[in-house]
Chain A
Amino acid sequence: MDIVVCIKQVPETNDIGWDPKTGTLIRESTGGILNPNDKNAIEAALQLREKHGGLITAISMGPPQAEDALREALGMGADKAILLSDRQFAGADTLSTSYALSLALKKIVRFDLILCGKESSDGMTAQVGPQLAELLNLPQLTNATEIIINSNSVRIKQKLEDGFRILKTHLPVLITVEREMNQPRIPPMDSIMEAYREKDVLVWSVGNLGGDKERIGLKGSPTQSRKVYTKIVKKGEITLLEGEPDKVARELIQILKQRDLL
């Protein structure tokens, strides 16, 4: 069973730098990491390969540095890696990202399963997986916490807001996975070394993909984020009310009334 895992490189979340004036990400200030949720997708692929055999290809669209995320996927155990990288991809929204990925998948031809994370830790739209399935005209199973494959049939446990449901379809299929699906493995040392010394990351440009140039990058992106900003949380003063509960409660009501909150 051949699996393609879509992965995204995201900024390390604990120290994202926003330029407060332009509202854009200050990329230099942060190291890129593999989107944590995509590690679950890779882990799921590795477990499925252990059971059913086959090849795992990791694919990512991003700037040249996104190669690092692909090397990490190779270190975890992916067999091949493809980077879609070209200045023309820049400024892509989820739709144009999905479109570029769909072209790459058509070029790969042979796959039985596409795995995506549910969402990225930066954009967090959770749109790329479903859109990609639509563009490829494949069934989509989203928010999986469990995947069971039996010859040609696929069953997942889907996480809903207030419970779970079991969904079933057939291969080929696109599945998006939840964080709680598994614990991504720690890659063994020799595998990390192999990822850097022995495996290659193929780079595909717009020219390699073909397709409609109007649907790629900024041009193909109906959505543009105008401004991104961090919410400023103002810290107020803390007043501690002490004394008998009765008295304190009365005092509190008094204060709330004074401030027009009651």
Chain B
Amino acid sequence: MYNFQLSEERRQFQEMARKFAEKEVKPLNDKFDDDWETHRIMPQVLKKAAELGFMGLTIDPKYGGTGADGMTIMAVLEELAAVNGGVACVIGDTWFAQTPIIIAANEEQRERFLRPLASRDEVNLGCICMTEPASGADIEDSRMRLRTVKTIIKEDGDDYIINGVKIWPSNAGIASHYVVIATTDPKLEDKGSCIIVVEKDRPGLSFGKIERKMGMPEDQNREVIFEDVRVPKNNLLGKIGDGHKILQTTVAYNRLGAGMISVGMARGAFEYALKYCKDRVVGGKPLIKHSLISAMFADMATKIDAARLLVYRASWSLRVRDPNRARYSDMAKVFPTNMAMEVTSNCVQVMGSYGYSKEYPVEKYMRDAKIVQIYLGPNELVQQLIGESL
């Protein structure tokens, strides 16, 4: 039977993450929007996060990490997102980029890549490079079998030479390790697909301008450009032809993370709006005493809980390798992300113009919530995958 209580150990991690978010992130929350291009504030936050071991939470202690289990990682992600979805996204995306290495790297590669990524002394972020200008959702669509990928790797002696352009990756430009979905030839579909790690200082690797977005200014998204980038053959994870399979597993391990970021953001907005509505008097009584408003809160509270439970179920199913785990992870992405959009928008609604004002924190949750319906597989695509699996 499923135990609904977090173990004491997980609760300690959760509390630690909450304290970090409250102390090191919250005071800066209204500064990130103006810093989207200069990106001066995030490095300080990330330095603190690295010191506390956030980056290596997912990595085996053998390579200097903590090796927390999936449910602990989800509990941590919720706490970060409850204060700031963008910060949760940046840290979540470094874990995302670590996943293919954790899944498919050999011992020598784990030592070489995971140890620096788990570092507490310096900030080493991962960046997962999937999306391309002409291949967005399609690259995450298992049915497309990576046919649309235009990032090409070519053998040259002991090296591979990479050419292509990735667009939108989180942590682009600041990451130390780029985990790239590529192909020897898109016509070969699965058989040509591969995943290769490119370290930041490889000649030929460059970055486009920083994208200006509706939300998540904490996350730096830029084009990642590969022009004859030469990397040793032992940077390839698995072998040529493994790319599609590794990517599918990676995505299954991370869709629920997008779901949990949504749960966190929805909760953050909800808690603020609830407190506000208990104080704000309209029509002679506190807003919360109006039955329509009260019903909205009841509905929101229920949906946030339902979403969280979906995420925990997915996490558990991955651990026990339940045959339906990919579907559970997909479900734990679609419902929570749609829920967060609805809840954050309702939180703005019940707070009136104060909700819409940048002087109050809920509008940011609403702007941030939007992207999670789109990234890590747009919901329409993921819904279709769920449908096909039934």
Is B23 a contact partner of A188 (Cβ separation < 8 A)?
Answer: no
- Output the least CB separation between A58 and chain B (Å): 15
Is there a chain A Cβ closer than 8 Å to B349's Cβ?
A: no
Name the interface residues of A235-255: CB closer than 8 Å to any CB of B. none
Say whether B52 faces chain A, with CB atoms less than 8 Å apart.
yes
A182 to chain B, nearest CB (A): 14
A71 cross-chain contacts in B, Cβ below 8 A: 8-9, 12
For residue A31, which residue of chain B has the nearest CB? B11
Find residues 1-44 in chain B having any chain A CB closer than 8 Å to their own CB.
8-9, 11-13, 16, 19-20, 23
| Residue B57 interfacial (CB < 8 Å) | yes
* B163 CB–A CB distance under 8 Å: no
A residues less than 8 Å from B120 (CB atoms): 188
Q: What residue of chain A has the Cβ atom nearest to residue B54's Cβ?
A: A189
Within 8 A of B (CB), among A178-232: 186-193, 195-196
Chain A residue at smallest Cβ distance from B52: A188
User: How many pairs of A and B residues are in contact by the CB < 8 Å rule?
Assistant: 48
A189 touches B8 (CB 8 A): no
Q: Mark B295-307, 1 if CB is under 8 A from A, else 0.
A: 0000000000000
In the bound complex, CA of A257 to CA of B25 (Å):
54
Q: Are B67 and A193 in contact (CB under 8 A)?
A: yes
Q: How far is the CA of A187 from the CA of B11 in the complex (A)?
A: 13
Q: Is A86 an interface residue (CB 8 A)?
A: no
| Chain B interface residue count, Cβ-Cβ cutoff 8 angstroms | 21
The interface residues of chain A lying within 8 Å CB-to-CB of B9 are 71, 192-193, 196
The reply to whether A189 and B16 contact each other, CB–CB distance below 8 Å, is yes
Q: How far is the CA of A68 from the CA of B7 in the complex (A)?
A: 10
Q: Do most interface residues of chain A lie in helix, strand or loop, or is the interface mixed?
A: helix
Whether A2 is near chain B, meaning CB under 8 Å from some CB there, is no
Residues of A within 8 A of B (CB-CB), count: 15
- B229: interface (CB < 8 Å): no
Complex partner residue of B53 from A72, A189, A195, CB under 8 angstroms: A189
Contact check: which of B11, B12, B19, B56 meets A190 at CB < 8 Å? B56
What residues on B are CB-neighbors of A190 within 8 Å?
A: 53, 56, 61, 65-66
Residue of B nearest to A67 (CB): B8
Q: How far is the CB of B167 from chain A (nearest CB, A)?
A: 32
B51 interfacial by beta-carbon distance below 8 Å: yes
> Is B65 a contact of A192 with CB atoms below 8 Å?
no
Report 26 cross-chain contacts, Cβ distance below 8 Å, ordered by A residue.
Answer: A31-B11, A68-B8, A71-B8, A72-B12, A75-B16, A186-B16, A186-B19, A186-B20, A186-B23, A187-B12, A188-B51, A188-B52, A188-B53, A188-B120, A189-B13, A189-B52, A189-B57, A189-B66, A189-B68, A190-B56, A190-B61, A192-B9, A192-B13, A193-B68, A196-B9, A196-B12
7 extra A-B contacts, CB within 8 A, seeds A72-B12, A189-B68, A193-B66: A68-B8, A186-B23, A187-B12, A187-B16, A188-B51, A189-B13, A190-B53
